[in-house]
């Protein structure tokens, strides 16, 4: 459990409360195409409204790189949030984020009202954790709530800097939920504890593998990263994704797993093609691939092996697809893992990013115990790192 202060521990009646949310949602032609992050932010916002706070929301959206870009304005978020909350969300459209509109809107607020200020990344200082912008944000409010797990692994003005200039800083319900689920899984899991890692590269998940090998009973590896392990074991992998610099590391991890008695599962068959294309012919290969082939998904025997390994699990953490799931011919491995997770009686935690998208697209979202709203943040959490956004919100 996160034994830190949350929105339950403070009295916000009549106070101006600045809430850092993660409204970094995908947009297409000004329309929000996935509103999960908005829905996930509602419990904290509703609680603060019910308690009579003046709720000032802020977030980044995309990467405007310090310049006001109309296509990355939070205006569509204000509109949709108002519908979801059933009350007005006043949008303060200042290119400088904390400008005359924001100040006037905040000044005019009554208890229980909601204002959303503009994309914090319109300001170049935001991602540099600059003091001036941190102070401007803090000047809007009496209390700060960090509910943006998706950016908790970054030290920016709107989640870290701001806390230095405001007396009270706490975490919101979403942040608390994320940390509780991920924290319990990693530090106090009901066993057997199984981790599934996939995605493209070993290099981006080195510290996760290392950290999890000290915790899990079984580690399942799939996706592009499995070929570096396969090559390290002496298998021919053709043109598959490989990181030569990590062959030694992969060997060490195989040894470490053995020494610790952790079951390390690697694919026993592969769906391979000569081209990185959904239109090219493909075949299932057991063992070594031909020199002109690349592995793009786990094969059917591996699907069964992995589903079997998950059957008795009591806690599972999953990060990264089993293959190039964006192409329908190479999505079956990822679908099989999602299905296996949906069917078991265990605490199932999906670590954001591609695996969260896959689970949601496949319609298994409500079958999982927790789907993290932060891909990068949940990975860093699984690495055993302290997240700056969490530390700052609880340093008071
Ligand atoms: P990551 O961002 O490291 O989690 O990687 C996700 C990406 O890995 C997805 O876009 C997948 O298409 C890609 N991926 C998964 N398996 C493979 C594979 N066998 N070969 C190439 N790319 C892969």
**Residue 360 pLDDT > 90:** no
Span 127-178, pLDDT tens digits: 999 999 999 999 999 999 999 999 999 999 999 999 999 999 999 999 999 9
Span 176-198, pLDDT tens digits: 999 999 999 988 999 999 999 99
**Residue 301 pLDDT > 80:** yes
- Is pTM beyond 0.85? Reply is yes
- The DSSP line for 276-299 is SSSSS-EEEEESPPPTT-EEEEE-
CA 373 to chain centre: 4
Q: Relative to the CA of 320, which ligand 1 atom is closest?
A: 4
Q: How confident is the model at residue 393 (pLDDT cuts 50, 70, 90)?
A: confident
pLDDT at 172: 97
Asked if 129 and 160 touch (Cβ cutoff 8 Å), the reply is yes
Q: How confident is the model at residue 4 (pLDDT cuts 50, 70, 90)?
A: confident
Q: Is 278 in the pocket of ligand 1 (CB under 6 A)?
A: no
Domains of the chain (ranges; CATH) run 7-176 (3.40.50.1260), 189-382 (3.40.50.1260)
SS (H, E, C) 13-32: CCCEEEEECCCCCCEECCEE
For ligand 1, atom 10, name the residue with the nearest CA: 324
What average pLDDT does the segment 47-76 reach?
Answer: 97
For ligand 1, atom 4, name the residue with the nearest CA: 199
What average pLDDT does the segment 57-71 reach?
Answer: 96
Q: How confident is the model at residue 396 (pLDDT cuts 50, 70, 90)?
A: low
Asked if 297 and 271 touch (Cβ cutoff 8 Å), the reply is yes
**Residue 43 pLDDT > 80:** yes
Q: Is 121 annotated as a binding residue?
A: yes
Q: How confident is the model at residue 395 (pLDDT cuts 50, 70, 90)?
A: low
Q: Is 324 in the pocket of ligand 1 (CB under 6 A)?
A: yes
What average pLDDT does the segment 349-355 reach?
Answer: 87
> Ligand 1 centre from 321 Cα, in Å?
6
**pLDDT > 70 in the chain, percent:** 99
pLDDT at 357: 85
Task: Give burial (CB, 10 Å; 0-12/13-18/19+) of 214.
Answer: exposed
SS3 label, residue 107: helix
Q: Is 321 in the pocket of ligand 1 (CB under 6 A)?
A: yes
Catalytic residues: 37, 201, 353, 376
């Amino acid at each position: 459990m996160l034994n830190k202060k949350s929105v339950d521990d403070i009295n916000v009646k009549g106070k101006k409360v600045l809430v850092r949310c993660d409204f970094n949602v995908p947009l297409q032609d000004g329309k929000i195409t996935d509103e999960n992050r908005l829905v996930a932010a509602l419990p904290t916002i509703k609680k603060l409204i019910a308690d009579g706070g003046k709720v000032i929301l802020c977030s980044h959206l995309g990467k405007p790189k310090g310049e006001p870009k109309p296509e990355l304005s939070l205006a569509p978020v204000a509109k949709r949030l108002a519908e979801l909350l059933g009350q007005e969300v006043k949008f303060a459209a200042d290119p400088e984020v904390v400008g005359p509109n924001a100040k006037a809107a905040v000044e005019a607020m009554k208890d229980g009202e909601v204002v959303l200020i503009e994309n914090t990344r319109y300001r170049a200082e935001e991602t540099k954790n600059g003091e001036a912008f941190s102070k401007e944000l803090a000047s809007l409010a009496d209390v700060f709530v960090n509910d943006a797990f998706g950016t908790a692994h970054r030290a920016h003005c709107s989640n870290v800097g701001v806390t230095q200039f405001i007396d009270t800083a706490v975490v919101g319900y979403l942040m608390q939920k994320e940390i509780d689920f991920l924290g319990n899984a990693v530090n106090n899991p009901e066993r057997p504890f199984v981790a599934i890692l996939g995605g493209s590269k070993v290099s981006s998940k080195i510290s996760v593998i290392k950290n999890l090998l000290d915790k899990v009973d079984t580690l399942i590896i799939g996706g592009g990263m499995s070929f570096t392990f396969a090559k390290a074991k002496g298998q021919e992998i053709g043109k598959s994704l490989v990181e030569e610099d990590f062959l030694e590391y992969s060997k060490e991890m195989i040894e470490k797993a053995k020494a610790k008695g952790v079951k390390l599962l690697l694919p026993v068959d592969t769906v391979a093609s000569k081209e990185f294309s959904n239109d090219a012919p493909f075949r299932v290969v057991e063992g070594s691939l031909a020199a002109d082939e690349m592995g793009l998904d786990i094969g059917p025997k591996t699907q069964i092996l992995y589903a079997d390994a998950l059957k008795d699990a009591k806690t599972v953490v999953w990060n990264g697809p089993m293959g190039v799931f964006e192409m329908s011919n190479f999505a079956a491995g990822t679908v099989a893992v999602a299905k296996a997770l949906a069917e078991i009686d265990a605490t199932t935690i999906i670590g954001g990013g591609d695996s969260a998208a896959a689970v949601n697209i496949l319609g298994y979202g409500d079958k999982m115990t927790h789907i993290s709203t932060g891909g990068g943040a949940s990975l860093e959490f699984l690495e055993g790192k302290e997240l700056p956004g969490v530390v700052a919100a609880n340093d008071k």
